Amino acid sequence: MREVSDTSSDARRQRQPLEPRSLEREVYETLRGEILTGIVAPGQALIEAQLAVDLGVSKTPVREALIRLQRDGLVEIRPYRGARVRRPSGDDVVQAVEARMWVETQVARALAAEPPAELLARLAENIDATQAALDADDYEGFVRTVRGFSQLLLEAHGNRYAMQVVESLHNILALIGSAFRRAPGRKQESIDEHRAILAALAAGDPDAADAATRRHLESIKRGAIEALSAGAASSRAARIAE
């Protein structure tokens, strides 16, 4: 890069001050990523002092990040009790999964009527990558690829409003998915259910694609409610023991 002389007043007038990356933003993105991938589970405490030590920052950017995460609906902050990852309610699960079902069953039905060969190949690759991540105990890789399956379907369908509906549910669905995937055997079940959806699409059977998508989402709803109920019971027992 060519040096600019200190005596160049024109260059000084044109040069804009560089804004350092905000510590609060870095802390926010780190914690948000951990919540959305399920590294920290619904209901888990987020202790300011400990987070500050772990991240090598003061408590101020941690506090600001937690407030922002609360606005996102990912964290709950209670006076005198601190912050926790939000634990979705049963109603949250039922309503969010129901909304997703309205969209994704119709997307699957439409795509099955004329399944694009490229989509089928990409879905198969996605399932292989998800299985490989699970076999390798790569939790973050698993979460990324298992979510990618639905995204491939939505993108192939191309209805931007359908994509906006699902995107608006992103945070609550991530919390639901985090709870759902913690139950034993649920990760493999998700992969197997994706295989069933792919098989229905490949067969060009809209009814089967609709039914396979519905079974997958009902499984998520049922598993998330069970996991959240078990987590709530465990939390109550811990508080009684304190």
- The model's pLDDT over 134-187, given as tens digits with 9 standing for 90+, comes to 999 998 899 899 999 999 999 999 999 999 999 888 888 888 888 777 777 889
**Least confident piece of the model among 9-13, 52-56, 91-95, 220-224:** 9-13
Q: What is the pLDDT of residues 57-85, one digit of tens each?
A: 889 889 999 999 999 999 999 988 899 99
Beta strand extents in the chain (DSSP E only): 45-46, 75-78, 82-85
Best CATH choice for the domain 90-241 from the list 1.20.120.530, 1.10.4160.10, 1.10.540.10, 2.30.40.10: 1.20.120.530
Domain residue spans of the chain? 22-85, 90-241
Identical fold between 22-85 and 90-241: no
Q: By the 8 A CB rule, do 150 and 158 touch?
A: no
- Phi, psi of 204, rounded to the nearest 5 degrees: 65, 35
- What's the CATH fold of domain 22-85? Arc Repressor Mutant, subunit A (1.10.10)
At 179 the pLDDT is: 77
Enter the pTM of the model.
0.77
- Phi, psi of 44, rounded to the nearest 5 degrees: -75, 135
Beta strand extents in 38-167 (DSSP E only): 45-46, 75-78, 82-85
- Phi, psi of 48, rounded to the nearest 5 degrees: -50, -50
d(CA 168, CA 36): 14
